[in-house]
Amino acid sequence: MKNIILTIVFLFAAISCKAQFNYLNNDTELFDGIKFNNVSLGDIMIASGDLTKMKALFGSDILETPNNTGFYIGKELSNDNIVFSFEDETDTGNNYYLTSITVLDSSVIVNVKGLSVKIGDHKSKFNNFNLNSNNKYNFTDKDTGSISLFFKIDKDDKVSEIKYISY
């Protein structure tokens, strides 16, 4: 239910603010084109929150923490640099899907649409892309609007936050 409500809100916002998004046009741009430290979004999704697979992708310092505060059972896999959140709508603990990624520091390089960006980079890296009214560069899938990767720009015109959200 939470995902349906979030999707409706996001789609309404997308229609209202169409010019403020930078669209990702196909599966290649979306699942292979978005990378976190050279690991594709598709590979992260395929790992489905499995700790062993995520350690293989991001290093042995990845830790798992249960997250039972939402509508469904969930878990976070994280280290000092990045946090991955997964949810299981079946509440079985066997069917986790990626809901968000939060970059915590400048050691994580995010690639999208030919850009390589990390926290602390100047907004001039986004020269040909639209900045929205919330001072974010938002990249979203054109087909459904259910995936969003944004880069928040601070008062010094630098990237202060990088977050991926799947609705």
Domain that holds residue 100: 2-166
pTM: 0.86
DSSP string, 3-49: HHHHHHHHHHHHHHTGGGEEEE-SHIIIIIT-EETTEEHHHHHHHTT
Count how many domains the chain has. 1
Lowest mean pLDDT among 2-6, 34-38, 53-57, 162-166: 2-6
pLDDT reading at 2 higher than 60: no
**Per-residue buried b or exposed e for 101-114, using 16+ beta carbons within 10 Å of the residue's own CB:** bbbeeeebbbbbbe
Q: What is the pLDDT of residues 61-107, one digit of tens each?
A: 999 999 888 788 999 999 999 999 999 999 888 899 999 999 999 99
| Dihedral (CA of 103, 108, 112, 115) sign | positive
Q: What is the pLDDT of residue 6?
A: 43
Q: What is the pLDDT of residues 26-47, one digit of tens each?
A: 778 888 899 999 999 999 999 9
pLDDT-derived band of residue 17, with 50, 70 and 90 as boundaries?
very low
Q: What is the pLDDT of residue 3?
A: 52
